[in-house]
Chains A and B, each alone.
Chain A
């Protein structure tokens, strides 16, 4: 029991789970109704689930999908990709322009998705080449697409914000008839399962962490760091395309300026809260996904408390600082020292002092 507890407190999932628990308890005290989930009939005649919990899960799915790719990049390249939202706008633009030039059927949607995947993978590979081969800091390298990406999306659309509407698209962005769960949640879960299966049954996950922890060692052990980094960027490209297409389906139009606005910041936060060090190394995919839900739960909670939408950022900032302060190694060490001082009798000298 004691050993299991110790193992648990050392794992990367502690902080995200603890923060999520804190949010849940806070909402329970504030208003139990917050968690009520009801079945309503939406305007298309489907019986669907509705409630704050569903909107948290639904709203966070795009950020959660991108955070999967970002986790891999963070782990292997020791830096973050800040161009994800801009590239998602490009993906959405490509998706919409393919859809608009054809009649919208299932194969065309799949084709459009694959095409936007191809485009984002190309852009991500460009980032990846800068990072892996030219050895540029990821944040700097992706600053190029960060500043140019949304303009490229604008250029693809020919300077307009075209709309697409079809029952097929609204079933991707909203609800599939007969299934009460919003389809972005289903897509998110399927995506997570797919990626974690890939990481489990290949050595990719291990190699990614090895490259992140020590590139030189990885190279000496026969792992090609450049290839691993490029693969991380490519996977991220597919994640970004998926998130972009889901968002386009949900809102039914592509607006290059506002599609997933500021999502790159949210995604990086998500990864940090999820227990992956932003300086690379060991990653935790599930932590990142939980982190996305924490951010969304926080936003929904603040909305439920009647905080104006523009002011949400300020409260979010405070909560983020508290979360990262708790997980800071210095604070942890201080807490352990305090604990030692207070309970000197029970605790021996062999308390693990976690150095930074």
Chain B
């Protein structure tokens, strides 16, 4: 009888899933309202896909950052590494007669090297992650100008072919002004980004490493007493983040085809903002990469909405971004504070849950 009761009692949704649900709902609401209010571009599937086309690199950086933030750290070197990779790859392709495959390996190598150094310094030497990755960012941004001061454009034939490759989505498209059907297209970088999101979502949910990350971020001391190798877990988180920044650099290069010191400017802060909107907490232990995806989409959609509503001056965009961040940060803070007191439970039926939900300890 007792067992039956506990089965009937619905488990409360976990913090991670609650914050993620809020983000997803807000994004959908925002987009639907935009569709109804402004129509036009928002009804065009290509504009939605362009959110991905233009920001695939940001999504990849943000995914790496999600892992680091879940483990309780921070990585602000993503934008710098991305820019460095674009520059080094272009110089390699143009001046050293490199191949596409070779440049891809260089991108991965640079990312791994940064991740390795960050990981060792943060987890084994116990230096503050902010300082380490800040130094990483400075180093990457400085190295770009050492490699080449002038912006460079890639004109490598095989690379250009890869850059201009587009994947046509069957059945989705829009009607042009002359009435002809133009199918929607995505860039290869988007496929990479989406694959990475899915892979990381699987890693976080169903592998030992993923669960260790949550444990370490929630309480590194408890994780240690449970026998989790805290240092190694953190090390791998930074290694992954570095590697993903390298991939992000290559995706950025596929999108723009140029190496420039100003590439991916402020990407690290946008990645942090995407994570926050997506419900990842800087304190660690809470977060999900699917939330990050929707966080990034919300961040970019609000810019589109601001432009569509006629406020085309660039400063309105950053002010609205700030306001949106403010809204999400306050919302999360209030919700988590109420939940801690145990007055607030969002109960979802079994089929609506995104997976296993953890039991609320303050029961």
A interface residue numbers (CB < 8 A to B): 80, 130, 134-137, 139-141, 143-152, 154-155, 159, 265, 268-269, 272, 278-279, 308, 310-318, 320-321, 324-325, 328-331, 356
Identify B329's interface contact among A141, A316, A317, CB under 8 A.
A141
Please give me the residue from chain B that is nearest to A321 by CB atom.
B135
Q: How far is the CA of A268 from the CA of B137 in the complex (A)?
A: 14
A316 to B142, Cβ gap below 8 A?
yes
B273 to A134, Cβ gap below 8 A?
no
Identify B138's interface contact among A80, A141, A320, CB under 8 A.
A320
B135 to A317, Cβ gap below 8 A?
yes
Identify A147's interface contact among B273, B313, B316, B333, CB under 8 A.
B273
Contact stretch, chosen from B51-59, B118-126, B250-258: B118-126
Please give me the residue from chain A that is nearest to B276 by CB atom.
A140
Residue among A150, A312, A320 with most chain B CB within 10 A: A320
Q: How far is the CA of A315 from the CA of B143 in the complex (A)?
A: 9
A235 to chain B, nearest CB (A): 22
Answer whether residue B38 sits at the interface, using C-beta atoms and an 8 A cutoff.
no
Q: How far is the CA of A69 from the CA of B131 in the complex (A)?
A: 19
Please give me the residue from chain A that is nearest to B325 by CB atom.
A144
- CB contacts (< 8 Å) of B269 on chain A: these are 143, 146-147
Answer whether residue B136 sits at the interface, using C-beta atoms and an 8 A cutoff.
yes
Q: Is the interface of A mostly helix, strand, loop or mixed?
A: helix
- CB contacts (< 8 Å) of B135 on chain A: these are 317-318, 320-321, 324
- CB contacts (< 8 Å) of B149 on chain A: these are 308, 310
B303 to chain A, nearest CB (A): 12
Q: How far is the CA of A265 from the CA of B136 in the complex (A)?
A: 12
Q: How far is the CA of A148 from the CA of B131 in the complex (A)?
A: 24
Q: How far is the CA of A311 from the CA of B315 in the complex (A)?
A: 30
Q: How far is the CA of A148 from the CA of B329 in the complex (A)?
A: 15
Per-position 1/0 for B85-128, Cβ under 8 A of A: 00000000000000000000000000000000000010011111
- CB contacts (< 8 Å) of B321 on chain A: these are 147-148
Identify B330's interface contact among A134, A269, A312, A331, CB under 8 A.
A134
Question: Which 3 A-B pairs give the minimum distances between C-beta atoms?
Answer: A314-B142, A148-B322, A313-B142
- CB contacts (< 8 Å) of A265 on chain B: these are 134, 137-138
Answer whether residue B319 sits at the interface, using C-beta atoms and an 8 A cutoff.
yes
- CB contacts (< 8 Å) of B281 on chain A: these are 137
- CB contacts (< 8 Å) of A316 on chain B: these are 138, 142
